[in-house]
A = this chain, B = another copy of it.
């Protein structure tokens, strides 16, 4: 499926900011996060911009500018992040409308839609069970 790394990078950024703030710093810069994630600061700013629209982080401009958490990590779940950065559905329908004159072509989309919705609900439920605090704890628990 060649899935996106957007959710992974967003979780990375949030864990990084959370850890950094836990060490007493006020704000984190996109430059610092990009170095840790081994990517470009603009990519981080774009992603964090989406998280800001979702109310997960805040940004400050000017001198001493940077990013900070808008809520505690333990009150954020991966579902919040997922919904902020992944707009589309997990599974897609046909690119072009199937032949509505054919019984299968006509009935396949509602049939698959209903199955896919059930699966997406399950995935959302799983994502909602993991807080970013859980993620950060797992990160710090990784063997050296």
Residues of A within 8 A of B (CB): 1-5, 7-9, 11-12, 15-16, 19, 35-39, 78, 86-99, 102-108, 110-112, 114-115, 118-119, 122-123, 126-127, 130, 135, 138-142, 144
Contacts and interface: CB of A to CB of B under 8 A. Distances in A.
A139 B36 contact: no
A100 B5 CA distance: 18
Contact of A92 (B4, B102, B144): B4
Given A36-B102, A78-B115, A114-B138, 10 more contacts: A1-B88, A3-B88, A3-B90, A8-B108, A12-B94, A15-B104, A16-B102, A35-B102, A36-B104, A122-B126
Contact of A96 (B39, B107, B140): B39
Contact of A93 (B1, B8, B130): B8
Nearest to A90: B3
Nearest to A127: B119
A135 B37 CA distance: 42
| Total copies of the chain | 2
30 contacts: A1-B3, A1-B88, A2-B88, A2-B92, A3-B91, A3-B92, A5-B91, A8-B92, A12-B108, A15-B108, A19-B104, A35-B102, A36-B98, A36-B105, A37-B98, A38-B94, A38-B98, A38-B99, A39-B95, A104-B139, A106-B144, A107-B138, A107-B139, A107-B142, A112-B135, A115-B130, A115-B135, A115-B138, A118-B126, A119-B127
